[in-house]
Structure 1
Amino acid sequence: MKVLFIGGTGNISTASSRLALTKGMDLYLLNRGKLKVDLPGATSIVGDISKPETLTELDTHKWDVVVNWIAFDVNDIERDLELFKGKTKQYIFISSASCYQTPLSYPVITESTPLCNNLWDYSNNKIQCEDRLLKAYREEGFPITIVRPSLTYDTVIPIAIGGFDKYNTADRILKGKEIIVHGDGTSLWTVTHADDFAKGFVGLLGLTQAIGHAFHITSDEVLTWNMIYKILADSLGKEAKVVHIASDFICKVEPSFTGTLLADKAESVIFDNTKIKTFIPGFKATIPFAEGIKRTLKWLDENPERKIIDRDTEEKIENVLSVYHTQ
Structure 2
Amino acid sequence: MLGGTEFAGRAISEGALARGWNVTVFHRGRHEPPQGVASLHGDRTTEDGLKALATDEKWDAVVDTWSAAPSVVRDSARLLDGRVKRYVYISSRSVYVFPEPDALGEDAPVVAGSPDDGDDVDYAAAKRGAELAAIDVFGDRALLVRAGLILGPYENIGRLPWWLNRIAKGGKVLAPGPRDAGLQYIDVRDLAAWTLDAIEQGLGGPFDLVSPPDHTTMQELLEACIHTTDSDAELVWTPPETILEAGIEPWMDLPIWLPPGEDYDTLHRGNVAKALSTGLRCRTVQETVADTWEWLQSIGGRAPQRPDRPTVGLDAETEAKVLCRRP
TM class by shorter-chain length? 0.7 to 0.9
Mark the CA change 1:248 to 1:289 in structure 2 (over 3 Å): closer, same or farther. Answer: same
Aligned 8 A contact 1:250 1:257 in 2? no
Cα distance, 1:10 vs. partner? Answer: 2.0
Cα distance, 1:326 vs. partner? Answer: 7.1
- 1:56-67 counterparts in 2 under 5 A? 56-60=51-55, 61-67=57-63
In the other structure, the counterpart of 1:34 is 30
> Matched residues in 1 for 2:146 and 2:263: separation?
15
Identity %: 21
Equivalent position SS for 1:257: coil
> Matched residues in 1 for 2:10 and 2:156: separation?
17
User: Size of the alignment, in residue pairs?
Assistant: 306
Q: Letter of the aligned partner of 2:219 in structure 1?
A: N
Q: Letter of the aligned partner of 1:223 in structure 2?
A: T
Cα distance, 1:146 vs. partner? Answer: 0.4
In the other structure, the counterpart of 1:203 is 197
In the other structure, the counterpart of 2:293 is 297
In the other structure, the counterpart of 1:21 is 17
Measured on the aligned residues, the alpha-carbon RMSD in Å equals 3.9
- 1:177-326 counterparts in 2 under 5 A? 177-205=171-199, 207-208=201-202, 210-211=203-204, 213-220=205-212, 222-238=215-231, 239-242=233-236, 243-246=238-241, 249=244, 254=249, 257=252, 261=258, 266-267=264-265, 269-278=268-277, 280=278, 283-307=279-303, 313=312, 316=315, 318-319=317-318, 322=321
Return 5+ residue gaps in structure 2 as ranges: 113-120
- 1:102-181 counterparts in 2 under 5 A? 102-106=98-102, 108=103, 110-115=105-110, 121-134=122-135, 136=136, 141=139, 143-155=141-153, 163-164=159-160, 167-181=161-175
C-alpha distance after superposition, 1:66-115 (max 9, x if no partner): 21112333232333244333332221111112334533432x46222333
Mark the CA change 1:57 to 1:158 in structure 2 (over 3 Å): closer, same or farther. Answer: closer
> Matched residues in 2 for 1:308 and 1:322: separation?
29
TM-score of the pair, normalised by structure 2: 0.75
TM-score of the pair, normalised by structure 1: 0.75
Aligned 8 A contact 1:201 1:217 in 2? no
Aligned 8 A contact 1:69 1:93 in 2? yes
**53-62 or 299-308: which moved more?**
299-308
Q: Letter of the aligned partner of 1:187 in structure 2?
A: A
> Matched residues in 2 for 1:66 and 1:307: separation?
28
C-alpha distance after superposition, 1:197-230 (max 9, x if no partner): 222110122644x23x111233346122222222
In the other structure, the counterpart of 1:86 is 82
Q: Letter of the aligned partner of 1:62 in structure 2?
A: K
Return 5+ residue gaps in structure 1 as ranges: none
Cα distance, 1:297 vs. partner? Answer: 0.8
Mark the CA change 1:251 to 1:32 in structure 2 (over 3 Å): closer, same or farther. Answer: farther
Aligned 8 A contact 1:71 1:93 in 2? no
Q: Letter of the aligned partner of 1:7 in structure 2?
A: G
Cα distance, 1:187 vs. partner? Answer: 2.8
* 1:43 and 2:12 are equivalent in the alignment: no
> Matched residues in 2 for 1:179 and 1:157: separation?
22
